Amino acid sequence: EVQLVESGGGLVQPGRSLRLSCAASGFTFDDYGMNWVRQAPGKGLEWVSRISWNSIIRNYADSVKGRFTISRDNAKNSVYLQMNSLRPDDTALYYCTKQMSTRGLGPFDKWGPGAMVTVSS
């Protein structure tokens, strides 16, 4: 069974940093691109970042570009989101998602339960 489990969320002051982790299991991790999607309380879904299976392609939403960095460790079946210079509008539930297609683009067929990040003084 495919599982994605996020960790590392919490309460952080504006301007500080936080690193989210996503542990994957139940599939051949290094065959698939991975993404982070966030959802502010009571709001819709916002795509945040994507990393290809081989880490060569990394994309970011304009709202986080220059502040967030996505990475992965295929040996540990994990993907990460380093979040720097956090702002109150980064407050959201952050989902780790798996792309459906191997080594290419695809919709997000598996989602983790999410990790809550709250940015507040």
Partner 1 sequence: EFVLTQSPGTLSLSPGERATLSCRASQAVSDDYLAWYQQRPGRAPRLLIYGASSRATGIPDRFSGSGSGTDFTLTINRLEAEDFVVYYCQQYASAPPHTFGQGTRLEIK
For the bound state, the minimum distance from the C-beta of residue 80 to partner 1, rounded and expressed in Å, comes to: 18
CA dihedral (107, 43, 86, 105) in degrees, to 10, reads: 10
Measuring CA to CA, which residue among 121, 94, 111 is closest to residue 7?
A: 94
Q: Among residues 30 and 46, whose Cβ is nearest to partner 1?
A: 46
For the bound state, the minimum distance from the C-beta of residue 13 to partner 1, rounded and expressed in Å, comes to: 27
Measuring CA to CA, which residue among 99, 111, 115 is closest to residue 21?
A: 115
In the complex, the residues that contact partner 1 under the rule CB under 8 A are: 35, 37, 44-47, 50, 59-62, 95, 99-100, 105-109, 111-114
Q: Among residues 3 and 16, whose Cβ is nearest to partner 1?
A: 3
